[in-house]
Amino acid sequence: MLDAGRVHIQLRLVADRIAEVEIRSQRPNVARALRGKPAAQAVQLVPLIFALCGRAQGQAAGLALAAARGVETPPMLDAAIEIEVLREHLWRLLLDLPALLGLPAQRELFLKAQQAVATGDQPGLQTVLAQEFWNELLQRLDELVQPEEGVTALLPVMSARQSLAAWSRLNADIAALPLWQGEAAETGAYARWGGQNPTASGAFAARWHARSAELWSWSAGEQKVGAGGTASAADNGAGVGRSLIDTARGLLMHEITLDGDRIADYVIVAPTEWNFHPRGSLFDWLHGRPAVDDASLREFISQAIAALDPCVRWELEVIK
């Protein structure tokens, strides 16, 4: 089985403060392994390779290939990907987040909510979201020790066609260290909401509130193009196609270059590379922070990483 990789975080402490922060996303270059394969075969392999957001990855591959063959996809809400996004939000909010806050995982609520989303039962999801647990969860979030908002930009919502003005072509360097207008940028539900979460009292809470807001929006039938589940594709010259999909964790980009009916080049830019950029939001939150107590430091880092939600495991190294 393919190792999905990891995010490695190294901190150097000086005088009980975080003096240096090094963040490295260490992931295999899956796209490189697809080069030379028949295009149809490569596209079929993509959702099998990625354990998380497999539907979004598969659709991104299919749309990019279609665009490379001249068939563009205007921005649209893809119902199947939207369901995947909502399910990921529910998993994080009802199963993962409670453990970080000292609350029991809400498996029964998760199953009810997941069933509502899977069957298109918007009132059913509203019933779950109206449970008292949600108020307790969000209140606990707002009470966390949290950093002030950093200076990292928020990646704007865009279509595949619009993205061509920002990146004329995608390549391995962009896939490893993506930049927006020359700077690190954050993607995900919080960025899709433009950072506007007036009910949240801190940086961590704001990102969880944004996920909750996407659930509420769907349950009220108010979802629009630009929300999680939005997909588009554009041709980028002869035999080159690019697709963009807004996943639970943020912007996913695929670009396929064809040589006849085989893959000449394939580039994937994943949300984790945006959100765990060496000079991104996590760096902002950690650099210069007091680090007197090891347990408190690790708890803070766990909450920071969960707020940004990598699609791979993470590891921490502290040097004193």
Helix (H, G, I), strand (E, B) or coil at 245: strand
Helix (H, G, I), strand (E, B) or coil at 244: strand
Cβ contact 224:237 at 8 Å:
no
Which residues, at least 6 apart from 144, have a Cβ–Cβ distance to it below 8 Å? 101, 202, 204, 205, 303
Write down how long the chain is: 320
**Digit-coded pLDDT (tens) for 137-152:** 888 888 888 887 788 9
CA distance 97 to 142: 13
**Of residues 64, 69, 117, 66, the one with CA closest to residue 91:** 117
Segment-wise mean pLDDT, segments of 10 residues, the chain, 320 residues: 77 95 85 89 85 85 97 97 96 94 93 96 95 88 83 94 97 95 96 74 89 95 94 96 97 97 95 95 95 91 94 90
**Of residues 194, 198, 191, 212, the one with CA closest to residue 281:** 191
At 26 the pLDDT is 81
**Residue 71: phi, psi to the nearest 5?**
-105, 105
Sorted by where each begins, the domain ranges of the chain are 6-319
The number of beta carbons lying within 10 Å of the beta carbon of residue 60 is: 30
At 145 the pLDDT is 82
CATH fold for domain 6-319: Cytochrome-c3 Hydrogenase; chain B (1.10.645)
Distance of CA 141 to the CA centre of its chain: 20
pTM to 2 decimal places: 0.94
**Digit-coded pLDDT (tens) for 10-19:** 999 999 999 9
* DSSP at 119: T
At 51 the pLDDT is 67
At 1 the pLDDT is 47
